[in-house]
Amino acid sequence: MLAASVVALPAARAQTPGPHPSFWRELVGAYKEPTTGKSARVLDKGGELFCQTADGLAVAEFHLVQAAPGDVFQTVETNGHQELGFFRDQAGKIAGLKFLGNTYLRDVSANSESATPESAAPGAPAAFPGARPMRTPQDLRGKIGDFADQREKDIFIILERSRRLYLRDSAGTEHLLKLLRTGPEGDQISSTFVTDEPDPAWVLAFKQRGVDPIWNIFTEKGPYHRVSYSVPTGSSSVNLVKPLASIRQIRAAALAATPPEERGTFRKNDLVELVSLDPAIRLDIRYATSNDFLGTPVYTQARAFLQRPAAEAMLRALRRLQPLGYGLLIHDGYRPWYVTKIFWDATPESGKIFVADPAQGSRHNRGCAVDLTLYDLKTNEPAEMTSLYDEMSPRAFPDYPGGTSLQRWHRGLLRWAMESEGFAVYESEWWHFDYKDWHEYAIGNIPFEKLDVAPK
C-alpha cells in the first residue's frame, strides 16, 4: 500500500474459490533482499496468494498460483508468467524466496513488544496486547517517522518504545538511540543521537523547532528526509485520488451495470443496522462525505450494516472493549456493488491495487467486512493509530513497526477484540476486518435507501 510510486499490473485471473493448502500459512510473511534493501510481502487474501514487492517507495503486487504441489508458484499476469520459488533451511522451514532475479530472506528480526498480535501463530486470533502503555512524551513525537535517502531507496523508521527512541533500519534491525549532545541554534534546538552499538553505529543530527516535526536528518551515509506520508498527525493528501472522469458520470454507469453472476447456494440476506445494536457503536462514514480518497461523497446516506452473524460477532467484540474504556467507531460496512464499481472506474491504473475489482466483488459487497477503529468512551475522541483511515502508505499495514507504543497498542487491542470473535484483519489495512463466513453470502447491490432492514 505504498502511495508514492505504484507499479500498475494487468488484472490477474481469479483462482478457484476454496480453502487454501494449510502449508501456505508458513509462506505468508515479510522478506528482505539483504544487499539492496528491497522487500517483499507474501499475503493470503481469502485463500488466494499474492506477493507484493517494494523498492524504495514503489510497490507491485503479483497474483500467484501453483501448477503442481510444492514451493514453486507462477504469476498470472497476462503479459507473461514469472516463477516465484521458496527455499527452506536444513530444518525444513521457509528461509526465503527467489523472484524476478532477486533473493529475499525471511524477515524474522522484528523486535516487538511482548504479546503483540503479530507474534500470534499464523491463522490464530491475535493475542491480547498486554497493559496499556503510557503516552509518548511530547518532545519525542516530532522525531518519530519514516525517513528516506535522496534516491528514496533506503528508508529507516524512527519509532518509540517504552518512552525511548529506536531506529529501525531497512534490514529490519532496531537500534536504541542515545542522546549524545543537544544545544540551542538560533530559534531551534540542534540534537545529535547515536545508536547503542560500538561499531558500526548510526549518528543522527537534526534541528527541531519546539515540538514541531523534524524534516531532515543528517547521517554519515548522507541526508535523509521525512517521506511525504509520514507527518506525525497524518495527512489526508496521501489518500486523494484524482478521478478519471466526473463522479456523476461514473455513478450513472455503475448504477446501470450488473454485478458478476455467481453460482451456488447462499445464505439469505439479513443485514442489521449497526447503530441499533449499542449506543457505544458510533459512525464516521467517510464515503458519505468529501473526506474520502476521491474527495467527494459517494454514499447518499451515512449508514452502516452487516449480516446478522457478523453484526452479533462485532457486538461481542465491543463487549470485550468496553471494560477497557473503548467503543467502536465505524467507517464502513456493507457496500453496494455499484459503489465498488465507482471506486474501480474512478481510480487510475496506478492505484487499482488499493481498490476491489468489481468483476470479483468484495467482502464489503457481501455484508461481511467492516472498516472501524476505537474511540475513548470518556473523551469520545478516536484512538491514536499508526496511520489515518484509508491511508495508502506502509503505515496502514497491520504489522507496520513504526509509530508509538500507544498507537501500536490501540491497533493490537482492536485486532485482538475482532479476531477473538471470528473476524480476520486484512493484510494491508489495520482497520479492515472480514468475517469468517463471508463466502456464504452473495454479492449485494441494494442501495441504502432501498434496504429492507429487519429489526434486531
Mean pLDDT of 325-337: 98
429 is catalytic: yes
In the chain, what's the furthest Cα-to-Cα distance?
72
| pLDDT (0 to 100) of residue 455 | 54
Domain with CATH 2.40.128.50 in the chain: 5-106
User: CA-to-CA distance for 422 and 438, rounded, in angstroms?
Assistant: 11
pLDDT tens digits, residue range 26-82? 888 888 887 776 788 888 776 678 888 876 656 678 889 887 778 899 887 655 678
Say if strands 48-55 and 102-106 run parallel, antiparallel, or are unpaired.
Answer: unpaired
The residues, any chain, with a CB within 8 Å of residue 140's CB and separated by 6 or more, are 160, 163, 165
* CATH tag, 143-226: 2.40.128
Q: Where are the alpha helices (DSSP H) in 238-307?
A: 247-256
User: CA-to-CA distance for 111 and 13, rounded, in angstroms?
Assistant: 37
- Do 115 and 129 touch, CB atoms closer than 8 A? yes
Q: Give Cα 55 distance to the centre of its chain.
A: 18
pLDDT tens digits, residue range 90-143? 778 888 999 988 899 987 654 344 334 444 455 578 899 999 999 999 889 999
Say if strands 155-161 and 164-168 run parallel, antiparallel, or are unpaired.
Answer: antiparallel
Cα-Cα-Cα-Cα torsion 147, 58, 356, 124, nearest 10 degrees, comes to -60
Domain with CATH 3.30.1380.10 in the chain: 243-450
Mean pLDDT estimate for the chain? 86
The single residue listed with the C-alpha cell 526465503 is 96
| pLDDT (0 to 100) of residue 3 | 33
The matching CATH number, chosen from 3.30.1380.10, 3.30.70.260, 3.30.565.10, 3.40.50.300, for 243-450 is 3.30.1380.10
Confidence category of residue 297, pLDDT binned at 50, 70, 90: very high
User: CA-to-CA distance for 454 and 435, rounded, in angstroms?
Assistant: 20
Helix 337-346, helix 247-256: angle, nearest 10: 140
Higher pLDDT, 255 or 80: 255
| pLDDT (0 to 100) of residue 118 | 44
The matching CATH number, chosen from 2.40.128.50, 2.30.42.10, 3.40.1280.10, 3.90.25.10, for 5-106 is 2.40.128.50
Q: Which long-range contacts (CB under 8 A, 24 or more apart) does 89-94 make?
A: 93/26, 94/26, 94/27, 94/29
Among candidate residues 33, 61, 419, 429, the one labeled active-site is 429
pLDDT tens digits, residue range 142-183? 999 999 999 988 999 999 999 999 999 988 889 999 999 999
Residue 72 burial by Cβ neighbours in a 10 Å radius (0-12, 13-18, 19+) = middle
Confidence category of residue 239, pLDDT binned at 50, 70, 90: low
Residue 55 forms beta bridges with which residues? 58
Tell me the HSE value of 140 on the side-chain side, using a 13 A CA sphere. Answer: 21
Say if strands 271-273 and 281-283 run parallel, antiparallel, or are unpaired.
Answer: unpaired
Mean pLDDT of 318-328: 96
Residue 153's SS3 state is coil
User: CA-to-CA distance for 24 and 207, rounded, in angstroms?
Assistant: 47
| pLDDT (0 to 100) of residue 92 | 81
